[in-house]
Amino acid sequence: MYNYTILIPLIPLVIFLVTGLLGMKWKPIISGLLGTTGLGISWVLSVMTAITYFFGSHHEGAFETIIPFEKLWLTFSETLQIKMGVLLDPISVMMLVVVTTISFMVHIYSLGYMHGEKGFQRFYAFLSLFTFSMLGLVIATNIFQMYIFWELVGVSSFLLIGFYYQKPSAVAASKKAFIVTRFADFGFLIGILILSFITKTFDFAKLTNPDGAVFANAAGMSFMGISVMTWAMVLVFMGGAGKSAMFPLHIWLPDAMEGPTPVSALIHAATMVVAGVYLVARLFVVYHFQAPDALEIIAYVGGFTSLFAAVIAITQHDIKRVLAFSTLSQLGYMMLSLGVSGYGGEEGLGYMASMFHLFTHAMFKALLFLAAGSIIHAVHSNYMYEMGGLRKYLPITHITFLIACLTIAGVPPLSGFFSKDEILVAAFNHNKILFGVEFLVAGLTAFYMFRLYFNIFWGKDRHYHHTPHESPLTMTIPLMFLAFASIFSGFLPFHSMVTSDKMHFDTHLHLAVAVPSVLIGLIGIAFAWLLYKKESKVPEKLAKQFGILYTATYNKFYIDEIYLFVTKKIIFNYISRPVAWFDRHIVDAFMVGIGTVTEKISYRIKGMQSGQLQHYAFMFVAGVLILALVLVYYI
């Protein structure tokens, strides 16, 4: 009954191929409309799937895992095979909805935003490619299919970040994004290899079976004192951390904002960056039963990233970068939530909260980015100090942006409140330190988001090149839709849809957590209101007060510089260059040397061929005599 689901990824693929091959011959708008229509169909199909899956047949007990389509793609050996298929279970169905919704909205939005850009067709072709890859990743039936699409989303992200390929900064950013994630994928690959070595299977169905039968081999295997499963799962997480930009692999995400804003909304806020979270969620059973240590690491990495990014976000001026760091911070939330989760029922609250937050975050973060795009479209600048008082000019953008800010700040009854609250409760139940961190981050989030909001929409009017005007309908409709989703998606019954053991469980509001968290959010907003509502000197003074701390934060704690040092200085200068030198001057010189030595020797001994008959005769006779002597005396 779900056979049609294979169409969901295939439609964008076909559109990619058609647009990619023929698009340049068409009028740009045709590509746009074709892409949008196709994605619309995919979206409808996804929503249909979700409705039938979650609410269709009334069922007791767990949601089933359904594989409506599977085809052999490559055989490694009898047991190790890559199949391409569609796997439907609660998280993948949810992700289908998230991906197609955001992608559809971005497709519509880009009709307006990218209007008149050179390479409009290319843009739509790449969007379709990305959507195809992301959908393929989501519905993967085995870890290798996931890896394949994982790479494909990486490359589509690379292509889209570098969309303005004549801009050196965009090229550098795309390169950085690709290489950093590639490095992480190397870890992922090794993780997969270890898993395949132990379990002899790639199938999620076998891997995530709670009985853990396939891991029987792993018992007692260890490497450098750490169990092999921990190694494997940490390495798999490394891949996830790369895609989801967890510290210390986060450096590519802020730079990725060089891409067109709809791309940032789609890839670097709502969908691709949650792939890492999705991966951990997908393998959650394995983490929980086979490698609890790895899960612990995930929790701490997530917690640290969320704090770290939130702190940096406070100091940034580029609105897209603020949003990027905010994304990092929220992804940290999701990771942490998975990290502190248990399995089954109430214990699995963290898992459910993480997925819930993934869903709501996709909506409101995409909204924030699209609204930011609308603002950038209007004022042609990314910097908030060149903005101010825009609420008069951009009414729709203003309202939707405000809704998104309130949502991310966790103000009830918007969706962000519910999902964040669940995460805090999960953290509270398991680890008080992490709870404290997250609690603080909640306040910081509210603060930096409203700093952004007040700076853009309030404060003094700036001098603009031309009066900013509201964006066209193609751009505002997605904003309104996403604002709607941000407000109401909190009421979705996630606890009976997406849970760690696919069973329903009851949740209730934990007032002891909810009230303080709302309060700290409000405090954050209030601070922002005080500091940024009116033009004032206080923020600058504060910045001066913190001195080095502020500079360090503003420069993102110099992590980029450290990376640059390691790659440019150490790898390029101290590995690659010596290797090139070694090859030319040692290995090649040795080979050439053999030739040279032969030549030299022959030069030396060529005098023996003097042309003097009597020399030859003497040699000959001497040789004969020596041979004769040898024969006589030694034989």
Partner 1 sequence: MIEGIPIQHFLIVSTIMFFIGIAGFIMRRNLITILMAIELILNSVNINFVIFNRYLYPDQLQGHFFAIFVVGIAAAEASVAIALIINIYRKLKNIDVENVNELRY
Partner 2 sequence: MNILTLLIVVPVLTIIGILFTKDMKGARAVSAFGMTIQLIVAATLVFMYLGLRKAGVTDEMVFISDYTWFKSLNIHYTTGVDGIAVVMIALTAIVVFAGIFASWEVEYLSREFFISLILLATGVFGFFISIDLFTMFLFYEVAVIPMYLLIGVWGSGPKESSAMKLTLMLMGGSALLMVGIFGIYFNSAPNGGPLTFNILEISKINIPVEAQRFFFPFTFIGFGILGALFPFHTWSPDGHASAPTAVSMLHAGVLMKLGGYGAFRVAMFLMPEAAHEQAWIFIILTSISVVYGAFGAIWQKDLKYINAYSSVSHCGLVLFALLMMNETAMDGGIIQMISHGLMTALFFALIGMIYGRTHTRNIYEMGGLMKVIPVLSVVYVIAGLASLGLPGLSGFVAEMTVFVGAFQHEDLFHRIVTIIAASSIVITAVYILRVVGILLFGPVKDPHFEHLRDATWFEKLSMFTLVIAIAGIGIAPLWLSDTILDSLKPIVHKLAETNVF
Q: Which is nearer to partner 2, 123 or 308 (CB)?
A: 123
Q: Which is nearer to partner 2, 81 or 474 (CB)?
A: 81
Q: Residue 183 binds what, of partner 1, partner 2, none (CB under 5 to 8 Å, by partner type)?
A: partner 2
3-state secondary structure 295-310: HHHHHHHHHHHHHHHH
Contact 62, 23 (CB under 8 A): no
Alpha-helical runs (H) found in 139-167? 143-161
Closest contact distance (angstroms) between CB of 322 and partner 2 is 27
Task: List Cβ neighbours of 287 (8 Å cut-off, separation of 6 or more).
Answer: 233, 280, 294, 295, 298, 338
Q: Residue 611 binds what, of partner 2, partner 1, none (CB under 5 to 8 Å, by partner type)?
A: partner 1
Binds partner 2 (CB under 8 A): choice among 5, 36, 110, 196: 196
Binds partner 1 (CB under 8 A): choice among 506, 611, 631, 632: 611
List the structure tokens of 224.
């450098």
Closest contact distance (angstroms) between CB of 624 and partner 1 is 10
Which of 258, 241, 310, 386 minimizes the C-alpha distance to 556? 310
Binds partner 1 (CB under 8 A): choice among 224, 613, 631, 635: 613
Task: List Cβ neighbours of 271 (8 Å cut-off, separation of 6 or more).
Answer: 98, 99, 102, 103, 134, 362
Binding to partner 1 by residue 617, rule CB under 8 A?
yes
Near partner 1 by CB under 8 A, which window of 128-136, 270-278, 310-318, 611-619?
Answer: 611-619
Q: Which is nearer to partner 1, 508 or 606 (CB)?
A: 606
d(CA 57, CA 53): 8
d(CA 350, CA 339): 8
Question: Regarding beta strands 81-88 and 66-75, do their DSSP bridges make them parallel or antiparallel, or are they unpaired?
Answer: antiparallel
Closest contact distance (angstroms) between CB of 123 and partner 2 is 15
Binding to partner 2 by residue 599, rule CB under 8 A?
no
Binding to partner 1 by residue 604, rule CB under 8 A?
no
Binding to partner 1 by residue 609, rule CB under 8 A?
yes
Q: Which is nearer to partner 1, 597 or 621 (CB)?
A: 621
E strand residue ranges, 386-480: none
d(CA 77, CA 49): 34
Closest contact distance (angstroms) between CB of 71 and partner 2 is 9
Give the Cα-Cα-Cα angle 471, 474, 480 (nearest 5 degrees): 80
Q: Which is nearer to partner 1, 225 or 611 (CB)?
A: 611
Closest contact distance (angstroms) between CB of 608 and partner 1 is 8
Phi then psi for 73, rounded to 5 degrees? Answer: -110, -40
Binding to partner 1 by residue 606, rule CB under 8 A?
yes
Give the Cα-Cα-Cα angle 386, 391, 396 (nearest 5 degrees): 120
- DSSP-derived secondary structure letter, 469: -
Q: Which is nearer to partner 1, 592 or 625 (CB)?
A: 625
Which x/- pattern over 551-580 shows residues binding partner 2 (rule: CB under 8 A)? --------------------xx--xxx-xx
Q: What is the largest CA-CA distance in the chain?
A: 119
d(CA 294, CA 288): 9
Closest contact distance (angstroms) between CB of 575 and partner 1 is 48
Near partner 2 by CB under 8 A, which window of 2-10, 58-66, 94-102, 164-172?
Answer: 164-172
Near partner 2 by CB under 8 A, which window of 359-367, 369-377, 482-490, 588-596?
Answer: 588-596
Distance between first and last Cα of the chain = 95
Contact 307, 253 (CB under 8 A): no
Binding to partner 1 by residue 607, rule CB under 8 A?
yes
Q: How many residues bind partner 2 (CB under 8 A)?
A: 48
HSE-CB for 337 with a 13 A CA cutoff: 31
Q: Residue 606 binds what, of partner 2, partner 1, none (CB under 5 to 8 Å, by partner type)?
A: partner 1
d(CA 376, CA 522): 28
The helix (run of H) or strand (run of E) holding residue 86 is strand 81-88
Binding to partner 1 by residue 631, rule CB under 8 A?
no
Binding to partner 2 by residue 151, rule CB under 8 A?
yes
Binds partner 1 (CB under 8 A): choice among 618, 626, 627, 629: 618
Residues 40-99 that bind partner 2 (CB under 8 A): 72-77, 80
d(CA 252, CA 604): 62
Q: Which residues bind partner 1 (CB under 8 A)?
A: 606-607, 609-614, 617-618, 621
Binding site for partner 2 (CB under 8 A): 72-77, 80, 144, 147-149, 151-152, 155, 162, 165-168, 171-172, 175, 178-179, 182-183, 185-186, 189-190, 193-194, 196-197, 571-572, 575-577, 579-580, 583, 587-588, 590-592, 595
